[in-house]
Amino acid sequence: MRDHRPKAAQDLLENGLTGQVRQRAMVLSQLSQQVKALLPPASAQHCRVANYRDGILILECGSSSWATRLNYDRHTLMSALRRDTLPSLMTIEIKVNPELARREQAEAEKIEKAKEWRTVSPAAAECLRMIAQSAPEKVKKKLEAIAELAERNRSK
């Protein structure tokens, strides 16, 4: 007979296919961190572990130039991984995934965009001056300083 008693959601998530996928993702993430620690910092930023199966470690990088650099470090990386982490490692394959480069570029653009200075328009500077007229002295000085900064940025 089948057991029809309710099961805990945690048991279903851990013991089912979802749990296996999650565990595999965690193992690959840890392996990726270990690989990045063994690589030179510049190369480590541009690659990730895609898979490990049957003694073959597959690394992905964003461009063929980074794949070439990783190929130069392949033997030292393989010996370090065999010694410390993966004694059954037979080879390392390096594949180019252009999507990885696009993501890196999008993240870099997002960071640059966040760094851009926001400017105060002349209309906003004039509004700040009007508000400053009726503000307390301490606030008045700060508002006038912001308006003055807008004037300096506009004259550049």
The predicted-structure confidence for 102-134, as pLDDT tens digits, reads as follows: 888 888 888 887 777 667 788 888 888 889 899
The b/e string for 40-55 (b: 16+ C-beta within 10 A; e otherwise) is: eeebbebbbbbebeee
> What digits encode the pLDDT tens for the residues 32-59?
999 999 999 888 888 899 999 999 999 9
Rounded alpha-carbon distances, angstroms, from residue 127 to 27, 131, 144, 149: 57, 6, 10, 14
How far apart are alpha carbons 132 and 148 in whole angstroms?
Answer: 12
Backbone angles phi, psi at 120, to 5 degrees: -95, 125
Which of 24, 19, 40, 27 is CA-nearest to residue 86? 27
What token pair was written down for 120? 């105060």
Sign for the CA dihedral angle at 89, 91, 92, 95 comes to: negative
Contact status, residue 47 vs residue 60, Cβ threshold 8 Å: yes
pLDDT at 104: 82
pTM above 0.95, yes or no: no
